Amino acid sequence: MTPVWKFHFPTSGLWCEKMKGFKIFQRVLILILVSLSTFYGGYNLGKRGYLIEIKKNPPEIKILNRSPSSKEIDFGKFWEVWNLVSTQYLERPVDSQKMLWGAITGMVNSLGDPYTSFLPPQVNKVVNSNLNGTFEGIGAELGLRENQLIVVAPLDGSPAKEAGVRAGDAIVEIEGVSTLGISLNEAVSKIRGDAGTVSTLTLMRGNEAPFTVMIKRGVITVASVSWEDKGDGTAYIRVSRFGNETNNDWDKVVSQIDMGMSELDAIILDLRGNPGGYMASAVYLAGEFVKGKQPILYQENALGEQIAHETDRVGEFQSIPSVYILLDGGSASASEILAAALKFHVKATIIGTKSFGKGTIQDARDFSDGSGLHITVAKWLTPDKIWVHKNGIEPDIKVERTDEDINNKIDAQLDKALELAKEI
């Protein structure tokens, strides 16, 4: 007889317990895998700068790119490029801090305003030092005119001025590299440097052929205000910038004039080559001459709202019969504010050449890492509400300084002011 095999499959006891344990293990494993997938997906979305908004009714997941305004701006592209550069650029690792500063700089430069700029810490330090009156470099205020890098003004006592650099000179090359398309921040970072090192610039002056100057950088300390007794009751006051110490320097000079001159009939205020600085300082100096509460300038914001900046100081020069102001193409910003105010309120006579023409106001912000932002927030108008931006202030008496005059140290503009002062 063929044997019949019978197989018995137990349905209880230890085997059932094992089956239950296996099923529990399966559920736990699935839960872990789902949790890991959710965590990894959320981590990557969060890393890319996204927000996950969960709506309960009806339940859905909505992904929104971070946006600084209500406009539909997709920042996903920014993070996509950032990640690609960070992970695939040949010369890795990349400098993330440098990339961040570069991104901010590019964003600010896209506005097309040469006076709105982001300054990395080292550049910001140099800019602040310039206003304080002590800095290392060649000592020249830079600007952009029709996308061309120019010298607004070489500062008094600076290596740039000693090397013959003049206001209005175009800088076409820095260290042999073209400045075409360069930003002010880039120019500053290339030209600045430690005292004793050399900066090589290629300049153009008017329609002349380009020429190269080698300027040895130095430590420059310049008083923002100085003066001379020119005799016959005439005081000559030179203001080279409107910085942190200008008001104090001005007060010292005013005190010295009061004590040192028994007769004061005329003041010659020299603002040539003064690139400007703090607006509040220009208002303060104007108050030395202007009687009563008067507007020194109007500040107009993006909405067209105008705010008067007034002075009600009781200054020492409010009874001076004659005031003469020297201007040139290097006189900008706060220099133009002061000149326009004195021309309007005390009938000051402006001598020289047309000023630079900078009619906007910048707010300076310093950040905790040492970087800074200069952002154009308004335009300024003269007391008769004229905007001089890109137009400058025309002199009442036009007097040019020729190359021959400069070489022979003849100052025809100052001589003209002295001539008029003596006719009082």
- Tens of pLDDT, residue by residue over 136-176, are 889 888 888 888 999 988 887 789 999 999 989 999 999 99
Which of the four pLDDT bands, split at 50, 70 and 90, describes residue 45? very low
- Tens of pLDDT, residue by residue over 210-267, are 999 999 999 877 779 999 999 999 999 999 989 889 999 999 999 999 999 999 999 9
Which of the four pLDDT bands, split at 50, 70 and 90, describes residue 341? very high
Residues carrying an active site annotation: 333, 358, 362
Task: Give the pTM.
Answer: 0.72
Residue 373 CA to residue 113 CA, distance in Å, equals 13
The pLDDT value recorded for residue 227 is: 97
- Average pLDDT of the chain? 83
Which of the four pLDDT bands, split at 50, 70 and 90, describes residue 134? low
Q: For residue 15, give every residue at least 6 positions away whose Cβ sits within 8 Å of its Cβ, in sequence order, or none.
A: none
The single residue listed with the structure tokens 């018995």 is 8
> 164 phi and psi, to 5 degrees?
95, 10
Measured torsion, CA atoms of residues 13, 14, 16, 20, in degrees rounded to the nearest 10: 140
* Cβ count within 10 A of residue 408: 8
- Tens of pLDDT, residue by residue over 350-395, are 999 999 999 999 998 999 999 999 999 999 999 999 999 999 999 9
Distance spanning both ends of the chain, measured CA to CA: 151
For residue 48, the Cα-to-chain-centroid distance in whole angstroms is: 31
The pLDDT value recorded for residue 392 is: 97
Distances (CA, A) of 52 to 66, 80, 149, 225: 10, 18, 46, 59
The pLDDT value recorded for residue 156 is: 79
Residue 45 CA to residue 51 CA, distance in Å, equals 8
Q: List beta partners, residue 299.
A: 307, 380
The pLDDT value recorded for residue 408 is: 81
The pLDDT value recorded for residue 32 is: 42
Q: Angle between the 121-132 and 184-191 helix axes, to the nearest 10 degrees?
A: 80
Q: What is the mean pLDDT of residues 50-58?
A: 34
Residue 320 CA to residue 303 CA, distance in Å, equals 39
> 158 phi and psi, to 5 degrees?
-95, 155
With a pLDDT cut of 70, the percent of the chain lying above it is 81
- Tens of pLDDT, residue by residue over 75-131, are 888 889 999 999 999 998 899 999 999 999 999 989 989 889 998 888 888 777 666
Task: Using alpha carbons, select from 309, 241, 316 the residue that is nearest to residue 280.
Answer: 309
Q: In the structure encoding, which two tokens stand for residue 233, read together? A: 């009751």
